[in-house]
Amino acid sequence: MADHAFDHPPHGAAADWTVPQDWAAYTAEDHETWDILFARQSALLPGRACAAYLRGLDVLRLSKPGIPDYAELNERLMAATGWQVVAVPGLVPDAVFFDHLANRRFVAGNFIRRRDQLDYLQEPDVFHDVFGHVPMLADPVFADYMAAYGRGGLRSLGFGSLDKLARLYWYTVEFGLVREAGGLRLFGSGIVSSFGESRFALDDPSPNRIVFDLERVMRTRYRIDDYQQVYFVIDSFEDLLRQTVETDFAPLYARLADLPDLGPADLLDADVLLTRGTQDYAAARAEVA
């Protein structure tokens, strides 16, 4: 029987699937691509991203331009919250991913998109992983949430409910919004690293924006190839952490097994809606497809 891609680490990777970043191998064009993306997003995010993210951007302002050298970046990140960034060759097995998070290691790819992919890239690259995630890992409360998620992920493997827990990651870590400063602000890495979605998520009338509810989130499917048609809005990172660490997930998984999944555009009577979306964007995309 042929080996599965996740049966063992690829050639050159350690037992935990990490590899050297090999910062010296990046080309001048690679670094220029990072600088273009960094400058564009940094100019767009004030007034859109949450205060914790904007504060955390300072950990990325290192001694030299271009793609961050993880060794230098980790000195600053470790001092802030005890986290570090480790390079991996691509996707890693779920158990490996969760173990890294539980031990305050964030796995990041070490390639960067081509210049013709500035506006959209389906596979996460070093800009998404580092610019999108690392600033929030410099916030002590969110850093604790990520470690708690990793521990919960390891436990979820014994319940066969990984798909449900993945939705929590998707709708918080990747595409979360928070109520702050009298409005909505971005904190999800998939939004803050995207030039288009960092505007769409707050400004477009199409998506629903719903107050965060743990069970509701874990029932809701998502799509990876387009803008979201629902965003869940947390009250604070303290509340998100509290709900995560105080919830007994075993009975929650059992309850979810008896409930139907929800589509991204579905609404429930119990939803606390902040914005009822028009779904115009979703309808237009469906017509194109």
List active site positions: 128, 133, 174, 193
* CB count in 10 Å sphere of residue 289: 6
Helix, strand, coil percentages in the chain from 3-state DSSP, rounded to 5: 50, 10, 40
Token pair of 263 as six digits: 């589509």
Q: How many CA atoms lie within 13 A of 34 on its CB side?
A: 24
Residues 6+ apart with CB under 8 A from 56: 134, 135, 136, 137, 138, 139
Looking at beta carbons, which pairs linking 83-88 to residues 24 or more positions away fall under 8 Å? 83/137, 83/138, 83/143, 83/146, 85/129, 85/130, 85/134, 86/16, 86/18, 87/18, 87/19, 87/20, 87/21, 87/22, 88/13, 88/17, 88/18, 88/19
- Cα 135 to chain centroid distance, Å, stands at 12
